Amino acid sequence: MTTSSSLRRLHPAPVTTTTVGDAYDVLRPAPADRPWMNLCMVSSLDGSVAIDGSSGGLGNPNDREVLTTLRRLADVVLVGAGTAMGEGYGPPSKPGQRIAVATNSGRVDLDRPLFESGAGFLIAPESAVVDETRVDVLRAGRDRLDVALAVTRLGEISGRDVHLVQAEGGPTLNGALWEAGLVDELDLTISPIIAGGDAPRIVSGAAQLRARMELAHLLSDDDGFVFGRWLRRHG
Ligand SMILES: NC(=O)c1ccc[n+]([C@@H]2O[C@H](COP(=O)([O-])OP(=O)(O)OC[C@H]3O[C@@H](n4cnc5c(N)ncnc54)[C@H](OP(=O)(O)O)[C@@H]3O)[C@@H](O)[C@H]2O)c1
C-alpha cells in the first residue's frame, strides 16, 4: 500500500469514518510546569518496534500520516540519539521546527544534514564532550541527562514557546520519559505483523511502572492496522 486507506473510528461510539487530521488535531492542554508530551510509536502484533533494525517495515501510509500530522502540530520533536542516527533523521519539513536529540555520551555524528541544517540540537549532561561550535547543546544533569529538566527548558534553545513536544522514541529514551512521568499521550500504531526477532518493546530499561492509560480513540483501516490514542490517567 502506498496511499492512505479510509479510517474507521471504533471508539468512542458511534462507529464512523474519520480522517487522521480530525482524529489527531485536537486540543492538548499543557501542564503548568512543562509542555504536553505525546509519544508516537509503531509496534508489531508481537510487540517489536523494528524489523531489520528499523521501524519502516512496520508502518503504512496511514501510520506515516499520523506521524507527520503530529509532527506538524508539535513545537519540538524529541528523539534518542540511537533513533536519530539509525533511522536517518533529516531536517524537519515544518519551517522553524527543531529536533532535540537526547544523548548521554555526546558521541553523535554532527556531519548529518539534521545538524548541518541547524535544526537538530542536543540535550546532554554536563559531562558530554561536544563541539559546541557545530551544534547547540542544552545541558541538563551532571553525568546523566536530566530529561525532566531538559524538557522544561526546551524553549530556551528552540527560540519559541514550547507547548507541545512530539517524542518519537526509541525505547531507551521512552523508558526515561516514562520513569520521569513526562508522557501525557501515547499514539501507538499496531501493525498486523508478527515480527519475531529480538527488537525491544516500545519502552525499554525502565523500572516497573504500572502507569495507567485511558483510551481516547481507536481507529482501524483497510490494511488491518489499528491506531490507538491513549492518555495518561492522572491521580
Ligand atoms: N517502532 C517505532 O515507532 C520506533 C521508534 C523509534 C525507534 N525505533 C527503533 O528502536 C531501535 C533503537 O532503540 P534504542 O532504544 O537504542 O533507541 P534510542 O533511545 O533512540 O537510542 C538510545 C541512545 O539514545 C540516547 N539516549 C536514550 N535515552 C536517553 C536518556 N534518557 N538520556 C540521554 N541519552 C539517551 C543514548 O545515546 P548515547 O549512547 O549517545 O548516550 C542511547 O544510547 C531502532 O531499531 C529503531 O528503529 C522504533
Q: Which protein residue has the closest C-alpha to ligand 1 atom 1?
A: 49
Tell me: the pLDDT tens digits for 23-72? 999 999 999 999 999 999 999 999 999 999 999 999 999 999 999 999 99
Distance from residue 55's CA to the centre of ligand 1 (Å): 12
Q: What is the Cα 53 distance to its own chain's centre?
A: 17
Measured torsion, CA atoms of residues 147, 152, 158, 160, in degrees rounded to the nearest 10? 160
Residue type at 68 in one-letter notation = T
Average pLDDT over the chain, rounded to whole? Answer: 96
Distance from residue 19's CA to the centre of ligand 1 (Å): 30
Distance from residue 82's CA to the centre of ligand 1 (Å): 4
Tell me: the pLDDT tens digits for 146-163? 999 999 999 998 888 999
- 49, 137, 144: residue to mutate for ligand 1 pocket, most atoms within 8 A of CB: 49
Tell me: the pLDDT tens digits for 79-126? 999 999 999 999 999 999 999 999 999 999 999 999 999 999 999 999
CB of 127 closer than 8 Å to CB of 114: no
CA–CA dist 91, 87 (Å, integer): 13
Q: Is the pLDDT of residue 1 over 90?
A: no
Q: Is the pLDDT of residue 3 over 80?
A: no
C-alpha cell at 38: 505525546
pLDDT of 218: 98
Pocket lining: 145 vs ligand 1, CB cutoff 6 Å: yes
Q: Which protein residue has the closest C-alpha to ligand 1 atom 28?
A: 173
Q: Which protein residue has the closest C-alpha to ligand 1 atom 30?
A: 173
